[in-house]
């Protein structure tokens, strides 16, 4: 029945606009319909210079909601009620992926947040008199601590994996050292260009980080030394196109994609024998935690990591317990660990 409804709607769109149905299967024949207005909403975000990643995420989440609504013949914003949105929310909770696993709470929140943002915009622009999503209660996300952080010795094991007698090993060593020194995300290090590394000032310009925000972070001396060795001895060997601006190049002379870079780091982690799954985020977590254990202020770590909210950074203080453990052992009456008789 749902397939029939969708086919009927798409045929109506073709008749009304004289063109083929949209690839996403949405009915845009009505300029005041949900699908057409959602396009205007996304265009408004683009005009406000939202990042491409944010736009893609919102577009995907809204397409899922609009298909769900269209299947139920809810095509205009005024037809959407809080009860309908709560029904969609229950559907997200009951949904199972191909492997039988449910959607994570974070995924559910992200999809609902996109819908709430759309209806807030519809009210602001005068397309709706009241917001049906205004009082929609979001799922409560369980706050999880990062996995056990790598010790300094384990980080050293990972950083020592590359064979630095080989040019590609020098490149990999420089990337790993830079990841641990700066706590960059994999997408951020993949986008680095030559101009972003300032060796004289020992800084790195991170352009278009999460949320499209730029930041400048310091680079440690050891990472700078390996980057200098890579730039002097290795990158000229890898460069094919003189116009290629990426800082780190693959064997094909191109910049890394986030996935290929993540796979490279994952293999180094596996080869190190530390027995932890993961890749770039392991070194990001380790950098933040080790700096906190060394006495760095949480707000400094927030700036380094590029977190918009301090609460996001404070989770690291809950896994950075070495200093707390040392103080506890020194000051607590029973903290010395005297063996029982």
Give the pLDDT confidence of 225-248 residue by residue, as tens digits: 999 999 999 999 999 999 999 999
> Are 168 and 291 in the same domain?
yes
Q: Of 205, 276, 281, 322, which residue is the catalytic one?
A: 281
Tell me the mean pLDDT in the region 121-132: 95
- For residue 294, the model assigns a pLDDT of 77
CA nearest neighbour of 92 among 77, 82, 74, 105: 105
Residue 210 annotated in active site: yes
Tell me the mean pLDDT in the region 52-63: 92
pLDDT averaged over every residue in the chain: 83
> Are 163 and 229 in the same domain?
yes
Is the pLDDT at 332 greater than 60? The verdict is no
Cα–Cα distances (Å) from 31 to 34, 40, 41, 77, 319, in that order, read 8, 10, 13, 11, 52
> Are 166 and 292 in the same domain?
yes
| Total residues belonging to the chain | 341
Tell me the mean pLDDT in the region 25-34: 92
> Are 315 and 194 in the same domain?
yes
List the CATH number of the domain containing 20.
1.10.150
- For residue 11, the model assigns a pLDDT of 38
Here the tokens at position 110 are 């992200």
- For residue 156, the model assigns a pLDDT of 95
> Are 77 and 8 in the same domain?
yes
Is the pLDDT at 121 greater than 60? The verdict is yes
Residue-wise pLDDT tens digits, 100-114: 999 989 899 999 999
Residue 281 annotated in active site: yes
Residue 127 annotated in active site: no
Residue-wise pLDDT tens digits, 2-13: 343 333 333 344
Residue-wise pLDDT tens digits, 141-190: 665 545 567 889 999 999 999 999 999 999 999 999 999 988 888 989 99
CA nearest neighbour of 316 among 338, 340, 294, 339: 294
- The total domain count for the chain is 2
Residue span of the structural domain in which 244 resides: 152-327
Residue-wise pLDDT tens digits, 262-321: 999 999 999 999 888 888 888 888 888 888 777 777 777 777 777 655 555 555 655 555
> Are 165 and 47 in the same domain?
no
Is the pLDDT at 136 greater than 60? The verdict is yes
- For residue 5, the model assigns a pLDDT of 37
Q: Of 28, 171, 284, 290, which residue is the catalytic one?
A: 284
Structural domain includes residue 341: no
Structural domain includes residue 33: yes
Q: Of 28, 186, 235, 307, which residue is the catalytic one?
A: 307
> Are 300 and 232 in the same domain?
yes
Structural domain includes residue 59: yes
Here the tokens at position 4 are 């029939």
Residue 307 annotated in active site: yes
DSSP codes of every residue in 78-125: GG--HHHHHHHHHHHHH-B-TTSPBPPHHHHHHHHHHHHHHHHHHHHT
Q: Of 120, 207, 210, 215, which residue is the catalytic one?
A: 210
Band (78; pLDDT cuts 50, 70, 90): very high
Unique residue bearing structure tokens 């029982």: 340
Tell me the mean pLDDT in the region 32-38: 95
Here the tokens at position 237 are 């060997």
Q: Of 185, 235, 285, 290, which residue is the catalytic one?
A: 185
Unique residue bearing structure tokens 């202020």: 297
- For residue 341, the model assigns a pLDDT of 46
């Amino acid at each position: 029945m749902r397939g029939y409804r969708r086919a009927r709607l798409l045929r109506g769109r073709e008749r009304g606009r004289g063109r083929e149905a949209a690839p996403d299967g949405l009915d845009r024949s009505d300029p005041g319909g949900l699908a057409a207005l959602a396009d205007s909403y996304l265009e408004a975000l683009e005009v406000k210079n939202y990042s491409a990643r944010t736009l893609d995420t919102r577009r995907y989440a809204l397409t899922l909601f609009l298909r769900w609504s269209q299947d139920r013949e809810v095509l205009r914003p005024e037809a959407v009620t809080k009860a309908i949105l709560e029904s969609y929310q229950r559907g997200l909770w009951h949904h199972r992926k191909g492997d039988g696993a449910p959607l994570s709470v974070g995924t559910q929140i992200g999809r609902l947040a996109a819908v709430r943002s759309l209806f807030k915009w519809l009210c602001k622009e005068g397309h709706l008199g009241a917001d049906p999503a205004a009082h929609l209660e979001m799922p409560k996300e369980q706050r999880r601590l990062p996995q056990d952080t790598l010790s300094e010795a384990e980080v050293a094991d990972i950083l020592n994996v590359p064979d630095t007698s080989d040019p590609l090993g020098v490149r990999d060593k420089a990337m790993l050292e830079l990841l641990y020194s700066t706590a960059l995300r994999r997408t951020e290090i993949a986008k680095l260009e030559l101009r972003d590394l300032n060796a004289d000032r020992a800084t790195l310009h991170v352009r278009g980080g999460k949320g499209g925000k730029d930041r400048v972070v310091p680079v440690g001396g050891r990472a700078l030394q390996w980057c200098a060795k890579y730039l002097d001895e290795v990158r000229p060997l890898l460069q094919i196109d003189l116009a290629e601006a990426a800082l780190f190049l693959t064997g094909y002379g191109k910049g890394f994609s986030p996935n290929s870079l993540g796979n490279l780091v994952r293999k180094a982690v596996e080869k190190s024998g530390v027995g932890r799954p993961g890749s770039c985020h392991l070194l990001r977590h380790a950098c933040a935690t080790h700096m906190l254990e060394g006495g760095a202020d949480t707000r400094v770590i927030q700036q380094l990591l590029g977190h918009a909210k301090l609460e996001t950074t404070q989770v690291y203080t809950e896994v950075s317990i070495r200093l707390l453990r040392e103080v506890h052992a020194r000051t607590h009456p029973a903290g010395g660990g005297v063996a029982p008789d």
